[in-house]
Amino acid sequence: MTALRFTGACWIVFVVYWAVTAAAVKPTAERQGLAGRTLHLGLLAIAIALIGPDWRVYPLNVAIVPRNAAIDILGGSLCVVGLIFAIWARWTLADNWSAAVDLKRGHELIQRGPYNYARHPIYTGMLMMFLGSALAIGRFHAWLGLLVSVAGFWIKLRQEEALLMRHFPDAYPPYRQRVKALVPFVF
């Protein structure tokens, strides 16, 4: 299986897992406004569009990374590790999860499992998947998709941080001090 098919399969597993588990969540207590949600969802849609098809338009089709077996293995491996990390994080969140920046009824501040290493491990996993895909594709459009996804997740992360600071004023600040946002032990 080529690296492109392999990373594509990772994304399919990701989407299927999210679709299957999305219904088993707590009811929403506080919902994010449409304006706040539109920006990060729009950026994510652009990122997916850039990383998905093979863009044959200059300069989007310019090769940035050479295609070879080592790069294919690295890209595929990053995609798989990102998928596993994102699924582990989603599994750990259980019924507290939401696709939007929402607070659930009886929402818990999860600090175990992957949340002991990154405050937003789903985004960490997804960004690893984007990075692995960009490596496997090797073209400018995929790297641009990675950058756009970073911007989208950063905006959503900031929105979530504000919500969690408001609703967990005693517990969230020390957690935020102890655990990095996206890259364990670094950032």
Residue 52: what pLDDT?
Answer: 81
The boundaries of the domain holding residue 94 are 3-17+29-102+109-178
pTM of the predicted protein model: 0.94
Residue 53: what pLDDT?
Answer: 72
CATH number at residue 131: 1.20.120.1630
Low-confidence ranges of the chain (pLDDT < 70): 1
- Inside any domain, residue 44: yes
Residue 108: what pLDDT?
Answer: 95
Which pairing describes strands 103-104 and 28-30: parallel, antiparallel, or unpaired? antiparallel
- Inside any domain, residue 187: no
Residue 117: what pLDDT?
Answer: 96
- Inside any domain, residue 92: yes
Residue 56: what pLDDT?
Answer: 87
Residue 55: what pLDDT?
Answer: 84
Residue 150: what pLDDT?
Answer: 97
- Inside any domain, residue 140: yes
Residue 84: what pLDDT?
Answer: 97
Length of the chain: 187
- Collect all residues with Cβ–Cβ distance below 8 Å to 58 and sequence separation of at least 6: none
How far apart CA 108 and CA 172 sit, in angstroms, is 11
- Inside any domain, residue 69: yes
- Inside any domain, residue 184: no
- Inside any domain, residue 97: yes
Residue 115: what pLDDT?
Answer: 98
Residue 184: what pLDDT?
Answer: 85
- Inside any domain, residue 153: yes
Q: For the chain, how many structural domains are there in total?
A: 1
